[in-house]
Amino acid sequence: MTPEQPNSPHNAHNGHSDGNGHSPVDGTGTAVTGAGTSQDQRTAEGEGAQTLTTRQGHPLTNNQNLRTLGNRGPALLEQYAFLEKISHFDRERVPERVVHARGAGAHGVFEAYGKVGDEPIEKYTRAKLFNTTGKQTPVFVRFSTVGHGGHSPETLRDPRGFAVKFYTEDGNWDLVGNNLKVFFIRDAMKFPDLIHSQKPDPVTNRQSGERIFDFICNTPEAMHMVSFLFSPWGIPANYRQMQGSGVNTYKWVNDKGEAVLVKYHWEPLQGIKNLTAPEAEAIQAKNFNHATQDLFEAIDRGDFPQWELLVQIMSDDEHPELDFDPLDDTKIWPQEQFPWRAVGKMTLNRNPENYFAEVEQSAFGTGVLVDGLDFSDDKMLQGRTFSYSDTQRYRVGTNYLQLPINAPKKHVATNQRDGQMAYHVDAAPGQNNHINYEPSSLNGLKEAPRTAPDHMPQYSGRVMRQTIDRQNNFQQAGERYRLHEDWERDDLINNMVGALADASHRVSDKMVELCTNCDPDWGRRLADGLAAARNGQPARGGNQQNEGRQERAVAQAEAQGHEAKPY
């Protein structure tokens, strides 16, 4: 997510603009767009020219929150505006992933400890992959960068994806997360907006700090993520030496149907290493595939990377004693209150034989859970659960689960048929192949017996679209700023100054205000750095990736280019 900087405001529009950022309008009240098409500009009563609507023309009165039962969730499926928004977003890129496009992967094994910390794991979950000491489950892991394209440098500032597919005896479990333990937003309604702000400008096709921070400065919950992402934690040294996190809150369910909330953490036994921006630039100048190469060559020489899987456990209630909502994925559960408990170890020991077949076509989903694992009411999790699998059906195809990399390593028998690129039928031995429905008395498929009770949470509340009560957007961000070492704080300030130096003062001033709310020293240093940068002075510690530097690079390429004769 290392941004290019925006053009200055007076250069931000092309010849199709009237100078105020509006498309010219012909005599019929119809706007003429740069693509040569026209768009009806009639508005309903109470609407303005910039009123946000759906593709159906419905005015959108709340673009911030899902409709939920109470402001903590769960979310309801019948909200058309969200389904239309996220479904369109899932289909915005062909054929590359919309997010997590650049990736590397490896096969391995997960070995269970048979306990959670010092307790019997059966107390909390009946998931079979955890229940026996030494039990081994095959895994496939895909690491990735989030916001950039499939061939982008692996040194760019960006969260890293950390997705693990467990091929368990009860079917697949996908633990889909990132290297950082928090996220920018807490409601899935905002996910397309977040990613749009980090993707290139639709006019210039360049990323810009102004676009990124314009979204962030109007989304205070993102400040905790900013405290990590713009520090060295935003550029892991490689994939082997970075943490992983499920980010969202899940549930564990035991054989009595009782549930607890759980968060997952991968801790690298190789240690953790991050890079400053100047260090990353120097590496990128030599090798923009360095992390993929590092992972492949380490496994190839037998230096198998390992991670320990640890969990935090919390009772499934609102926890009014906390100053944040435990389902808010912009927050970290304090380790002193909810200790990390080890449940197993993962070893990556085999490289892919074909990158496309195994890494590119691998498909993960937050809804892929086995018995004993369940969803929480986390509003981001519920939105992601629809989006992930919907994206895979679009990107890879209707029958993506028949591909070897995605197929479970066990019996599969369904009544699903046909669709693009189906190459076998999920039928059982001896099944009547004429019967592709259930129930049937003619030797069709039968439901599996229930061996343990369902988890049945009880809800009572009003359906609404509202933000959660305990937002507390600044405390943990300020704590993280103060926990950073001096060199990490220096890098954080320099990176933010570089991204904001040429942004609108409306954006940069709001960012200074938000940083001050997190920690007064953070706000003061950012303000001082921006003032120095705008006066042409280098920020303390150097490393300003501002527009002036990038413009110089453009001019340098022309000035130093070697002339050649035509042929």
Can you say which residues are annotated as belonging to the binding site? 388
The single residue of 65, 100, 107, 148 carrying the catalytic annotation is 100
Of the listed 65, 172, 178, 436, which one is catalytic? 178
Give the annotated binding-site residues for heme: 388
- How far apart CA 74 and CA 485 sit, in angstroms, is 39
439 cis-preceded (ω within 30 degrees of 0): yes
Residues present in the chain in total? 567
Residue corresponding to tokens 């992601």: 384
Structure tokens of 44?
């309903």
Distance separating alpha carbons of residues 282 and 154, to the nearest angstrom: 12
* Three-state SS at 310: strand
- Who's near 356: CB < 8 A, 6+ residues apart? none
Q: Map tokens 């103060």 to a residue.
A: 482
Burial of residue 271, with CB atoms counted within 10 A of its CB: 0-12 exposed, 13-18 middle, 19 or more buried: exposed
Strand boundaries in 63-169, DSSP class E: 68-69, 103-112, 115-116, 119-120, 136-145, 160-168
CB neighbours of 532 closer than 8 A, spacing ≥ 6?
497, 538, 539, 540
Q: Is 328 left (phi over 0), alpha (psi -120 to 50) or beta?
A: beta
Picking from 443, 401, 447, 446, the residue whose alpha carbon sits closest to that of residue 424 is 401
Q: Distance between CA 73 and CA 384 in Å, rounded?
A: 14
Residue 224's nearest CA partner among 332, 378, 379, 384 is 332
Question: Cβ contacts of residue 519 below 8 Å, gap of 6+?
Answer: 477, 478, 481, 482
Whether 100 is catalytic is: yes
Do residues 520 and 513 touch, judged by C-beta distance below 8 A? no
Residue positions annotated with a catalytic role: 100, 178
